Amino acid sequence: MRLLSVYFIFMHLIAGEGVNLPLVIVTWEYPNATDKAYGILTSGGSSVDAVEEGCTFCEDYPSKCRYSVGFEGKVDENGEATLDAMIMDGTTLNVGAVGGIRRIKRATTVARHVLDYTRHSLLVGDQATDFAKDFVGLPEEDLNTDYNREVFESWKDENCQPNFWMNVQPDPTENCGPYSPSDQDKVVNLKETSSPSNHDTIGIVAVDSVGNVASAASTNGLNHKIPGRVGDSPIPGAGSYADNDVGGAAATGDGDVMIRFLPSYQTVENMRNGMDPKTAASDALRRIAVKYPQYMGAVIGATNDGEYGIACYGYEEVQYCTQDPKSGGPYCRDVTCDVTTSTSACLQSIALSWWISVVLISASLSAHLF
């Protein structure tokens, strides 16, 4: 399959279509993280190196990533910042991840060590912290600053709104805890908890100049999450997915819903079956929206020859950044969210994607036969 992947890249090159590699694509407007990852690729680093460094940038400089990733970022309802992170190597399909790691700034570096030096895929909680200190050699440190302490105190002053509790007493839509299970009518908490201002992830896909793919994600999780909560980011196929034979994808949004559908894996499988990246991501998100019409999410996707796209649902718009040989630097833009739950619209988009693929293949064959 790897030889087949290289063959298709080679065919694109001789057909004159141009393989646009290396490539980095990142969720949200994080141009510095994009540029950091791309610089790794152009200086001879691997795709795995690139996605690690892209995520690490946000963990080190959260103010440049909207305070959603790393120290100084989002905190749980006890006021503590904890991180989830993962890396996936598309060459081997191996994964390294950490969930709910405490008092460690560079969660993605810990995930990289899980990938490179263990036969496990996921370490969690205080034991992940011990691994980071004892094996990786990272310092244990307070991840809170005046900034996120102030945000936390403001949340408490507003009666802990919004939060993630339901079917408890006192009423979680009006009160802080502690809570206990309610024996009365169920209290459903429908207050919005996922939005562009509370997005929870940097997701990244990198493809090197010969088509090696890697993906990664890093997050503090949703603001004021229940302590101990782990979202979709460190779960392979949910937070991100990479396969050299096809490409890679990464997701962002309401992780508690998206984790149930593995949208990154679905996007890659859709691309394997002939969909372009945008159509593939749209189909993955539509499957979720049919069951959870109130959720919000986005998926980026890239093929192993440098085609990329993004789809989103529930938001008005999202941002993403890319960098490749043609861009002249990180290029970030807004995208209007147009995913629909309409099956007919989705089928039309898929049919168009397949038709375009057939036309391109036919044109390539004609150019060489005649």
144: Cα within 13 Å, side-chain hemisphere: 14
E strands within 155-212? 168-169, 180-181, 202-207
Question: How far is the C-alpha of 297 from the C-alpha of 360, rounded, in Å?
Answer: 31
> What are the backbone angles phi and psi of residue 118, rounded to the nearest 5°?
-135, 165
Residues 6+ apart with CB under 8 A from 338: 311
Question: How far is the C-alpha of 90 from the C-alpha of 324, rounded, in Å?
Answer: 19
Q: What is the CA radius of gyration of the chain?
A: 21
Neighbours of 222 (CB within 10 A): 24
Residues 6+ apart with CB under 8 A from 140: 103, 104, 129, 132, 133
Q: Which residues are tagged catalytic? A: 201
Question: How far is the C-alpha of 312 from the C-alpha of 340, rounded, in Å?
Answer: 10
